Structure 1
Amino acid sequence: MMLKHLLSAATAVALTLTSVSLPALANETPEARGLAVATEWDKRDQGFGDTQSVMKMVLENRNGEQSVRSMIQKIFEIPDPDTGDKSLTVFQKPRDVKGTAFLSFAKILDPDDQWLYLPALKRVKRISSKNKSGPFVGSEFAYEDLSAQELKKYTYKWLREEPCGDLQCAVIEQIPTYENSGYTRQIVWYDLSEYRQQKIDYFDRKGELLKTLTFSDFRQYLDQYWRAHDMYVENHQTGKKTRLVFEEIKFRTGLKESDLTKNSLKRVK
Protein backbone atom coordinates (compact mmCIF):
# COMPACT_ATOMS: atom_id res chain seq x y z
CA MET A 1 0.00 0.00 0.00
CA MET A 2 2.84 2.40 0.77
CA LEU A 3 4.23 2.04 -2.74
CA LYS A 4 0.82 2.71 -4.26
CA HIS A 5 0.53 5.99 -2.36
CA LEU A 6 4.08 6.98 -3.28
CA LEU A 7 3.40 6.30 -6.95
CA SER A 8 0.31 8.48 -6.98
CA ALA A 9 2.04 11.28 -5.08
CA ALA A 10 5.13 11.39 -7.30
CA THR A 11 3.91 10.40 -10.75
CA ALA A 12 3.62 13.94 -12.07
CA VAL A 13 7.04 14.85 -10.73
CA ALA A 14 8.67 11.69 -12.09
CA LEU A 15 7.23 11.99 -15.57
CA THR A 16 8.57 15.51 -15.98
CA LEU A 17 11.91 15.05 -14.25
CA THR A 18 13.99 15.62 -17.37
CA SER A 19 12.57 19.13 -17.76
CA VAL A 20 12.74 20.06 -14.09
CA SER A 21 15.96 20.78 -12.22
CA LEU A 22 16.56 18.92 -8.99
CA PRO A 23 16.41 22.07 -6.84
CA ALA A 24 12.80 22.43 -8.03
CA LEU A 25 12.07 19.12 -6.31
CA ALA A 26 13.37 20.35 -2.97
CA ASN A 27 9.87 20.86 -1.62
CA GLU A 28 8.87 17.27 -2.37
CA THR A 29 9.13 14.57 0.28
CA PRO A 30 12.29 12.43 0.33
CA GLU A 31 10.13 9.50 -0.80
CA ALA A 32 8.75 11.42 -3.80
CA ARG A 33 12.21 12.66 -4.80
CA GLY A 34 13.69 9.18 -4.54
CA LEU A 35 10.89 7.66 -6.58
CA ALA A 36 11.25 10.41 -9.19
CA VAL A 37 14.92 9.56 -9.76
CA ALA A 38 14.26 5.82 -9.95
CA THR A 39 11.31 6.37 -12.30
CA GLU A 40 13.53 8.34 -14.65
CA TRP A 41 16.13 5.53 -14.56
CA ASP A 42 13.40 3.03 -15.42
CA LYS A 43 11.79 5.17 -18.13
CA ARG A 44 15.05 5.68 -20.01
CA ASP A 45 15.50 1.93 -20.41
CA GLN A 46 12.04 1.13 -21.73
CA GLY A 47 11.53 -0.14 -25.26
CA PHE A 48 14.85 -1.94 -25.81
CA GLY A 49 13.06 -5.10 -26.94
CA ASP A 50 15.67 -7.76 -26.32
CA THR A 51 19.41 -8.18 -25.83
CA GLN A 52 21.92 -10.98 -26.21
CA SER A 53 25.26 -10.69 -24.42
CA VAL A 54 28.56 -12.56 -24.29
CA MET A 55 30.10 -12.35 -20.83
CA LYS A 56 33.05 -13.45 -18.77
CA MET A 57 32.68 -14.08 -15.04
CA VAL A 58 35.82 -13.88 -12.91
CA LEU A 59 35.59 -15.35 -9.40
CA GLU A 60 38.20 -14.41 -6.82
CA ASN A 61 38.53 -15.92 -3.35
CA ARG A 62 39.87 -14.14 -0.29
CA ASN A 63 43.41 -15.30 -1.15
CA GLY A 64 43.28 -13.67 -4.59
CA GLU A 65 43.00 -16.94 -6.52
CA GLN A 66 40.84 -16.61 -9.61
CA SER A 67 38.70 -18.82 -11.84
CA VAL A 68 37.06 -17.70 -15.08
CA ARG A 69 33.76 -18.72 -16.66
CA SER A 70 32.29 -17.84 -20.05
CA MET A 71 28.55 -17.37 -20.49
CA ILE A 72 25.86 -15.89 -22.68
CA GLN A 73 22.74 -14.09 -21.56
CA LYS A 74 19.47 -13.38 -23.34
CA ILE A 75 16.90 -10.87 -22.06
CA PHE A 76 13.40 -10.40 -23.41
CA GLU A 77 11.59 -7.21 -22.39
CA ILE A 78 8.00 -7.54 -21.21
CA PRO A 79 6.26 -4.18 -21.86
CA ASP A 80 3.58 -4.74 -19.19
CA PRO A 81 4.59 -2.52 -16.20
CA ASP A 82 3.09 -5.04 -13.78
CA THR A 83 5.15 -7.95 -15.15
CA GLY A 84 8.92 -8.28 -15.14
CA ASP A 85 11.31 -9.17 -17.96
CA LYS A 86 12.53 -12.68 -18.76
CA SER A 87 16.18 -13.73 -18.95
CA LEU A 88 18.22 -16.82 -19.74
CA THR A 89 21.88 -17.27 -18.77
CA VAL A 90 23.91 -20.21 -20.14
CA PHE A 91 27.45 -21.19 -19.12
CA GLN A 92 29.77 -22.28 -21.94
CA LYS A 93 33.16 -22.71 -20.20
CA PRO A 94 34.87 -24.34 -18.36
CA ARG A 95 33.80 -27.92 -18.94
CA ASP A 96 32.55 -28.53 -15.39
CA VAL A 97 29.83 -25.86 -15.72
CA LYS A 98 29.21 -26.03 -19.49
CA GLY A 99 25.50 -26.27 -20.26
CA THR A 100 24.38 -25.01 -16.86
CA ALA A 101 21.46 -22.70 -17.57
CA PHE A 102 19.51 -20.23 -15.42
CA LEU A 103 16.04 -19.01 -16.41
CA SER A 104 14.32 -16.13 -14.61
CA PHE A 105 10.83 -14.66 -14.98
CA ALA A 106 10.80 -11.46 -12.95
CA LYS A 107 7.70 -10.58 -10.95
CA ILE A 108 6.88 -7.42 -9.04
CA LEU A 109 5.64 -8.27 -5.54
CA ASP A 110 5.35 -12.03 -5.97
CA PRO A 111 8.47 -14.22 -5.87
CA ASP A 112 10.25 -14.47 -9.22
CA ASP A 113 9.95 -17.75 -11.09
CA GLN A 114 13.49 -19.13 -11.47
CA TRP A 115 14.90 -22.45 -12.65
CA LEU A 116 18.41 -23.88 -12.87
CA TYR A 117 19.30 -26.64 -15.34
CA LEU A 118 22.15 -28.87 -14.18
CA PRO A 119 23.51 -30.90 -17.12
CA ALA A 120 25.38 -33.37 -14.88
CA LEU A 121 22.06 -34.39 -13.33
CA LYS A 122 20.08 -33.79 -16.54
CA ARG A 123 17.31 -32.12 -14.62
CA VAL A 124 15.72 -28.73 -14.07
CA LYS A 125 15.71 -27.47 -10.49
CA ARG A 126 13.27 -24.78 -9.41
CA ILE A 127 14.84 -22.12 -7.20
CA SER A 128 12.81 -21.79 -4.01
CA SER A 129 11.43 -18.35 -3.20
CA LYS A 130 13.26 -18.61 0.14
CA ASN A 131 16.61 -19.40 -1.51
CA LYS A 132 16.92 -16.44 -3.89
CA SER A 133 19.41 -14.76 -1.58
CA GLY A 134 21.78 -17.67 -2.08
CA PRO A 135 24.92 -17.34 -4.26
CA PHE A 136 24.48 -17.83 -7.99
CA VAL A 137 26.75 -20.71 -9.07
CA GLY A 138 29.36 -19.86 -6.44
CA SER A 139 29.59 -16.16 -7.32
CA GLU A 140 28.97 -13.08 -5.17
CA PHE A 141 25.82 -12.38 -7.19
CA ALA A 142 22.65 -13.71 -5.57
CA TYR A 143 19.84 -15.21 -7.61
CA GLU A 144 17.71 -12.15 -6.92
CA ASP A 145 20.48 -9.86 -8.23
CA LEU A 146 20.17 -11.51 -11.65
CA SER A 147 16.45 -10.93 -11.90
CA ALA A 148 15.18 -7.81 -13.67
CA GLN A 149 15.30 -4.91 -11.21
CA GLU A 150 11.72 -3.72 -11.72
CA LEU A 151 10.71 -0.28 -10.44
CA LYS A 152 7.85 -1.51 -8.27
CA LYS A 153 10.02 -4.03 -6.42
CA TYR A 154 11.17 -1.28 -4.03
CA THR A 155 10.13 1.80 -2.14
CA TYR A 156 12.48 4.77 -2.47
CA LYS A 157 13.84 7.56 -0.32
CA TRP A 158 16.16 10.40 -1.31
CA LEU A 159 19.12 10.60 1.08
CA ARG A 160 21.47 13.18 -0.42
CA GLU A 161 23.32 14.41 -3.49
CA GLU A 162 27.09 14.00 -3.72
CA PRO A 163 29.97 13.57 -6.18
CA CYS A 164 30.62 10.04 -7.48
CA GLY A 165 33.88 10.06 -9.39
CA ASP A 166 33.62 12.70 -12.09
CA LEU A 167 29.83 12.69 -11.88
CA GLN A 168 27.21 14.06 -9.51
CA CYS A 169 24.94 11.43 -8.00
CA ALA A 170 21.65 11.18 -6.16
CA VAL A 171 21.94 8.69 -3.30
CA ILE A 172 18.71 6.75 -2.85
CA GLU A 173 17.68 4.22 -0.22
CA GLN A 174 15.67 1.34 -1.69
CA ILE A 175 13.66 -1.07 0.44
CA PRO A 176 12.56 -4.38 -1.14
CA THR A 177 8.78 -4.75 -1.14
CA TYR A 178 8.79 -8.45 -1.99
CA GLU A 179 8.97 -11.31 0.49
CA ASN A 180 12.09 -13.36 1.10
CA SER A 181 14.56 -10.78 -0.17
CA GLY A 182 18.03 -11.37 1.18
CA TYR A 183 18.41 -7.63 1.77
CA THR A 184 16.86 -5.25 4.26
CA ARG A 185 17.80 -2.28 2.08
CA GLN A 186 20.04 -1.07 -0.71
CA ILE A 187 21.79 2.29 -1.07
CA VAL A 188 22.02 3.20 -4.75
CA TRP A 189 24.02 5.97 -6.44
CA TYR A 190 22.31 7.30 -9.62
CA ASP A 191 24.26 9.75 -11.75
CA LEU A 192 22.25 12.87 -12.50
CA SER A 193 23.45 13.19 -16.09
CA GLU A 194 22.07 9.96 -17.56
CA TYR A 195 20.34 8.38 -14.54
CA ARG A 196 22.51 5.26 -14.55
CA GLN A 197 23.10 3.21 -11.44
CA GLN A 198 26.79 3.69 -10.57
CA LYS A 199 27.05 1.78 -7.30
CA ILE A 200 24.87 -0.29 -4.95
CA ASP A 201 25.52 -1.12 -1.29
CA TYR A 202 23.57 -4.21 -0.15
CA PHE A 203 22.64 -4.71 3.50
CA ASP A 204 21.88 -8.21 4.78
CA ARG A 205 18.95 -9.37 6.88
CA LYS A 206 20.75 -8.22 10.02
CA GLY A 207 21.06 -4.73 8.57
CA GLU A 208 24.83 -5.01 8.13
CA LEU A 209 26.70 -4.05 4.97
CA LEU A 210 27.13 -7.25 2.96
CA LYS A 211 28.58 -6.27 -0.41
CA THR A 212 29.06 -3.47 -2.92
CA LEU A 213 28.34 -3.65 -6.65
CA THR A 214 30.14 -1.09 -8.83
CA PHE A 215 29.24 -0.40 -12.47
CA SER A 216 31.76 0.97 -14.98
CA ASP A 217 32.69 1.11 -18.67
CA PHE A 218 29.29 2.40 -19.76
CA ARG A 219 28.49 2.31 -23.47
CA GLN A 220 25.42 3.62 -25.27
CA TYR A 221 23.39 1.61 -27.76
CA LEU A 222 20.79 2.73 -30.29
CA ASP A 223 21.51 6.33 -29.20
CA GLN A 224 19.53 5.69 -26.02
CA TYR A 225 20.31 2.63 -23.93
CA TRP A 226 23.29 2.63 -21.59
CA ARG A 227 24.90 -0.62 -20.49
CA ALA A 228 27.76 -1.11 -18.05
CA HIS A 229 30.33 -3.50 -19.51
CA ASP A 230 31.98 -4.08 -16.14
CA MET A 231 30.12 -5.10 -12.97
CA TYR A 232 32.28 -5.71 -9.90
CA VAL A 233 31.00 -7.14 -6.62
CA GLU A 234 33.03 -7.17 -3.42
CA ASN A 235 31.70 -9.11 -0.44
CA HIS A 236 32.80 -7.20 2.66
CA GLN A 237 32.03 -10.10 5.01
CA THR A 238 33.87 -12.91 3.20
CA GLY A 239 36.50 -11.05 1.17
CA LYS A 240 35.34 -12.77 -2.03
CA LYS A 241 34.90 -10.87 -5.29
CA THR A 242 33.16 -11.42 -8.62
CA ARG A 243 33.56 -9.44 -11.84
CA LEU A 244 31.22 -9.64 -14.84
CA VAL A 245 32.77 -8.37 -18.06
CA PHE A 246 30.48 -7.94 -21.05
CA GLU A 247 32.46 -8.66 -24.20
CA GLU A 248 29.55 -8.12 -26.59
CA ILE A 249 25.97 -6.86 -26.35
CA LYS A 250 23.50 -6.95 -29.22
CA PHE A 251 20.07 -5.35 -29.24
CA ARG A 252 16.86 -6.38 -31.02
CA THR A 253 18.17 -9.70 -32.28
CA GLY A 254 14.78 -11.22 -33.02
CA LEU A 255 14.56 -13.10 -29.74
CA LYS A 256 11.03 -14.33 -29.02
CA GLU A 257 9.35 -14.85 -25.68
CA SER A 258 8.83 -18.48 -26.65
CA ASP A 259 12.65 -18.88 -26.74
CA LEU A 260 12.73 -18.43 -22.96
CA THR A 261 10.66 -21.24 -21.49
CA LYS A 262 11.24 -23.94 -18.92
CA ASN A 263 10.93 -26.60 -21.62
CA SER A 264 13.72 -24.98 -23.64
CA LEU A 265 16.28 -25.12 -20.80
CA LYS A 266 17.63 -28.54 -21.74
CA ARG A 267 18.07 -27.51 -25.38
CA VAL A 268 20.12 -24.37 -24.82
CA LYS A 269 23.56 -24.06 -26.41
Structure 2
Amino acid sequence: YGETSERELRNLVLEITEDNEGDWSLIVFDKPRDVDGTALLSYAHILDPDDQWMYLPAVKRVKRISSVNKSGPFMGSEFAFEDFSSQEVGKYSYNWLRDEACGDRMCHVTERTPLYEHSGYTRQIAWTDTTDYQPRTIEYYDRKDQLLKTLTMTDYRLYEDKHWRAHDLFMENHQTGKNTRLVWSDFVFQAGLTESDFTTNALKRAR
Protein backbone atom coordinates (compact mmCIF):
# COMPACT_ATOMS: atom_id res chain seq x y z
CA TYR A 1 0.00 0.00 0.00
CA GLY A 2 3.04 2.26 0.10
CA GLU A 3 4.42 4.39 2.90
CA THR A 4 2.20 6.54 5.10
CA SER A 5 2.98 9.17 7.71
CA GLU A 6 0.68 10.91 10.18
CA ARG A 7 1.02 14.37 11.71
CA GLU A 8 -1.06 16.46 14.10
CA LEU A 9 -1.36 20.23 13.71
CA ARG A 10 -3.28 23.35 14.71
CA ASN A 11 -4.24 26.25 12.45
CA LEU A 12 -4.91 29.72 13.87
CA VAL A 13 -6.46 32.38 11.63
CA LEU A 14 -6.91 36.13 12.16
CA GLU A 15 -9.34 37.89 9.84
CA ILE A 16 -7.88 41.08 8.35
CA THR A 17 -10.39 43.61 7.00
CA GLU A 18 -8.02 46.12 5.36
CA ASP A 19 -8.21 46.61 1.58
CA ASN A 20 -5.74 44.59 -0.48
CA GLU A 21 -4.88 42.45 2.54
CA GLY A 22 -5.81 38.85 3.25
CA ASP A 23 -6.07 36.90 6.48
CA TRP A 24 -3.14 35.95 8.69
CA SER A 25 -2.62 32.32 9.65
CA LEU A 26 -0.32 30.28 11.88
CA ILE A 27 0.01 26.52 11.42
CA VAL A 28 1.72 24.65 14.27
CA PHE A 29 2.72 20.98 14.25
CA ASP A 30 2.33 19.06 17.54
CA LYS A 31 3.06 15.43 16.59
CA PRO A 32 5.12 13.38 15.97
CA ARG A 33 8.02 14.51 18.13
CA ASP A 34 10.41 15.15 15.23
CA VAL A 35 8.18 17.96 13.89
CA ASP A 36 6.83 19.25 17.24
CA GLY A 37 6.96 23.06 17.22
CA THR A 38 7.51 23.40 13.48
CA ALA A 39 5.32 26.34 12.44
CA LEU A 40 4.30 28.30 9.34
CA LEU A 41 3.22 31.95 9.55
CA SER A 42 1.40 33.45 6.54
CA TYR A 43 0.31 37.02 5.79
CA ALA A 44 -1.94 36.85 2.75
CA HIS A 45 -2.16 39.75 0.29
CA ILE A 46 -4.50 40.13 -2.65
CA LEU A 47 -2.06 40.66 -5.53
CA ASP A 48 1.28 41.28 -3.83
CA PRO A 49 3.25 38.13 -2.96
CA ASP A 50 2.12 36.60 0.33
CA ASP A 51 4.61 36.78 3.19
CA GLN A 52 5.43 33.38 4.71
CA TRP A 53 7.92 32.36 7.39
CA MET A 54 8.69 28.90 8.74
CA TYR A 55 10.14 28.09 12.15
CA LEU A 56 12.34 25.00 12.38
CA PRO A 57 12.87 24.10 16.07
CA ALA A 58 15.74 21.71 15.29
CA VAL A 59 17.89 24.66 14.24
CA LYS A 60 15.96 27.31 16.23
CA ARG A 61 15.69 29.41 13.12
CA VAL A 62 12.96 31.36 11.31
CA LYS A 63 13.23 30.94 7.55
CA ARG A 64 11.44 33.22 5.10
CA ILE A 65 9.75 31.32 2.27
CA SER A 66 10.67 32.84 -1.11
CA SER A 67 7.68 33.90 -3.20
CA VAL A 68 9.08 31.90 -6.12
CA ASN A 69 9.07 28.68 -4.07
CA LYS A 70 5.45 28.72 -2.87
CA SER A 71 4.53 25.90 -5.25
CA GLY A 72 6.84 23.48 -3.43
CA PRO A 73 5.45 20.71 -1.19
CA PHE A 74 4.62 21.67 2.39
CA MET A 75 6.14 19.33 5.01
CA GLY A 76 6.35 16.47 2.53
CA SER A 77 2.61 16.55 1.81
CA GLU A 78 0.74 16.97 -1.48
CA PHE A 79 -0.35 20.43 -0.33
CA ALA A 80 1.89 23.28 -1.50
CA PHE A 81 2.82 26.33 0.58
CA GLU A 82 0.53 28.22 -1.81
CA ASP A 83 -2.44 26.01 -0.84
CA PHE A 84 -2.15 27.06 2.80
CA SER A 85 -2.41 30.75 1.98
CA SER A 86 -5.74 32.48 2.52
CA GLN A 87 -7.93 32.04 -0.57
CA GLU A 88 -8.99 35.64 -1.09
CA VAL A 89 -11.55 36.33 -3.83
CA GLY A 90 -9.44 39.11 -5.37
CA LYS A 91 -6.49 36.78 -5.99
CA TYR A 92 -8.18 35.30 -9.09
CA SER A 93 -10.09 36.13 -12.24
CA TYR A 94 -13.17 33.96 -12.76
CA ASN A 95 -14.94 32.34 -15.69
CA TRP A 96 -18.22 30.47 -15.22
CA LEU A 97 -18.18 27.22 -17.20
CA ARG A 98 -21.44 25.43 -16.41
CA ASP A 99 -23.77 24.10 -13.72
CA GLU A 100 -23.86 20.35 -13.15
CA ALA A 101 -24.69 17.71 -10.57
CA CYS A 102 -22.01 17.01 -7.95
CA GLY A 103 -23.06 14.13 -5.76
CA ASP A 104 -26.56 14.83 -4.45
CA ARG A 105 -26.34 18.57 -5.16
CA MET A 106 -25.96 20.98 -8.05
CA CYS A 107 -22.68 22.84 -8.43
CA HIS A 108 -21.44 25.94 -10.20
CA VAL A 109 -18.31 24.97 -12.14
CA THR A 110 -15.93 27.91 -12.49
CA GLU A 111 -12.43 28.37 -13.81
CA ARG A 112 -10.25 30.67 -11.75
CA THR A 113 -6.90 32.02 -12.89
CA PRO A 114 -4.33 33.33 -10.37
CA LEU A 115 -3.68 37.06 -10.78
CA TYR A 116 -0.68 37.02 -8.45
CA GLU A 117 2.89 36.25 -9.51
CA HIS A 118 4.76 32.98 -9.02
CA SER A 119 1.72 30.73 -8.69
CA GLY A 120 2.47 27.07 -9.33
CA TYR A 121 -0.84 26.82 -11.17
CA THR A 122 -1.98 28.17 -14.54
CA ARG A 123 -5.62 27.73 -13.52
CA GLN A 124 -7.97 25.94 -11.17
CA ILE A 125 -11.41 24.51 -11.84
CA ALA A 126 -13.74 24.63 -8.84
CA TRP A 127 -17.06 22.93 -8.12
CA THR A 128 -19.12 24.94 -5.60
CA ASP A 129 -22.57 23.81 -4.52
CA THR A 130 -25.39 26.17 -5.44
CA THR A 131 -27.23 25.90 -2.10
CA ASP A 132 -24.71 26.67 0.64
CA TYR A 133 -21.82 27.76 -1.64
CA GLN A 134 -19.55 25.08 -0.22
CA PRO A 135 -16.43 24.34 -2.30
CA ARG A 136 -16.62 20.63 -3.11
CA THR A 137 -13.80 19.92 -5.56
CA ILE A 138 -10.88 21.89 -7.00
CA GLU A 139 -8.67 20.74 -9.86
CA TYR A 140 -5.20 22.31 -10.06
CA TYR A 141 -3.37 22.63 -13.39
CA ASP A 142 0.43 23.01 -13.41
CA ARG A 143 2.56 25.51 -15.33
CA LYS A 144 2.33 23.27 -18.41
CA ASP A 145 -1.47 23.33 -18.04
CA GLN A 146 -1.56 19.62 -17.19
CA LEU A 147 -3.84 18.33 -14.42
CA LEU A 148 -1.64 18.15 -11.33
CA LYS A 149 -3.87 17.66 -8.29
CA THR A 150 -7.48 17.36 -7.19
CA LEU A 151 -8.73 18.55 -3.80
CA THR A 152 -11.98 17.00 -2.52
CA MET A 153 -13.73 18.57 0.49
CA THR A 154 -16.31 16.59 2.48
CA ASP A 155 -17.87 16.27 5.96
CA TYR A 156 -19.16 19.85 6.11
CA ARG A 157 -20.44 21.01 9.50
CA LEU A 158 -22.20 24.24 10.43
CA TYR A 159 -20.81 26.51 13.16
CA GLU A 160 -22.69 29.35 14.84
CA ASP A 161 -25.52 28.87 12.31
CA LYS A 162 -23.49 30.63 9.61
CA HIS A 163 -20.02 29.13 9.04
CA TRP A 164 -19.81 25.95 6.96
CA ARG A 165 -16.46 24.20 7.31
CA ALA A 166 -15.20 21.01 5.64
CA HIS A 167 -13.61 18.60 8.11
CA ASP A 168 -12.09 16.27 5.50
CA LEU A 169 -9.76 17.58 2.76
CA PHE A 170 -8.26 14.99 0.41
CA MET A 171 -5.53 16.13 -2.00
CA GLU A 172 -4.59 13.68 -4.73
CA ASN A 173 -1.52 14.23 -6.91
CA HIS A 174 -2.21 12.69 -10.32
CA GLN A 175 1.39 13.02 -11.48
CA THR A 176 3.04 11.23 -8.54
CA GLY A 177 0.21 8.95 -7.42
CA LYS A 178 0.57 10.24 -3.85
CA ASN A 179 -2.13 11.78 -1.68
CA THR A 180 -2.63 13.65 1.58
CA ARG A 181 -5.74 13.66 3.77
CA LEU A 182 -6.22 16.59 6.16
CA VAL A 183 -8.87 15.92 8.84
CA TRP A 184 -9.95 18.79 11.11
CA SER A 185 -11.39 17.77 14.49
CA ASP A 186 -12.97 21.09 15.45
CA PHE A 187 -13.29 24.79 14.60
CA VAL A 188 -13.48 27.60 17.19
CA PHE A 189 -14.61 31.11 16.24
CA GLN A 190 -14.10 34.38 18.16
CA ALA A 191 -11.13 32.81 19.97
CA GLY A 192 -9.69 36.12 21.19
CA LEU A 193 -6.62 36.10 18.94
CA THR A 194 -4.79 39.37 18.23
CA GLU A 195 -2.07 40.54 15.84
CA SER A 196 0.55 39.83 18.52
CA ASP A 197 -0.25 36.11 18.14
CA PHE A 198 0.90 36.29 14.51
CA THR A 199 4.47 37.59 14.60
CA THR A 200 7.80 35.93 13.87
CA ASN A 201 8.46 35.98 17.62
CA ALA A 202 5.16 34.18 18.23
CA LEU A 203 6.28 31.70 15.59
CA LYS A 204 9.20 30.61 17.79
CA ARG A 205 7.05 29.99 20.86
CA ALA A 206 4.03 28.54 19.06
CA ARG A 207 4.34 25.11 20.66
Shared fold by TM > 0.5?
Answer: yes
Alignment match of 2:72 (pick from 134, 141, 144): 134
CA deviations 1:177-219 (Å, max 9, x no partner) are 0000000000000100011110000000000000000000000
Amino acid at match of 1:69: R
Amino acid at match of 1:106: A
**What stretches of structure 1 of length at least 5 have no aligned partner?**
1-62
Aligned to 2:91: 153
Amino acid at match of 2:57: P
TM-score computed with the length of structure 1 as normaliser: 0.76
Alignment match of 1:97 (pick from 19, 26, 35): 35
Aligned to 1:26: none
1:1-269 counterparts in 2 under 5 A?
Answer: 63-269=1-207
| SS at structure 1 position matched to 2:201 | helix
Amino acid at match of 1:180: H
Greater per-residue strand proportion = 2
Deviation, 1:80, is 2.1
CA deviations 1:118-161 (Å, max 9, x no partner) are 00111000000000000001000000100000000000000011
Separation in 1 of the partners of 2:152 and 2:171? Answer: 6
Amino acid at match of 2:70: K
**Structure with greater contact order relative to length (CA < 8 Å, sep ≥ 6):** 1
**What stretches of structure 2 of length at least 5 have no aligned partner?**
none
Separation in 2 of the partners of 1:136 and 1:166? Answer: 33
Identity of aligned residues (%): 61
Superposed CA RMSD: 0.8
Amino acid at match of 1:168: M
Q: Is the 8 A contact 2:39 2:54 kept in 1?
A: yes
CA deviations 1:216-249 (Å, max 9, x no partner) are 0000111101100000000000011000000111
Q: How many residues align?
A: 207
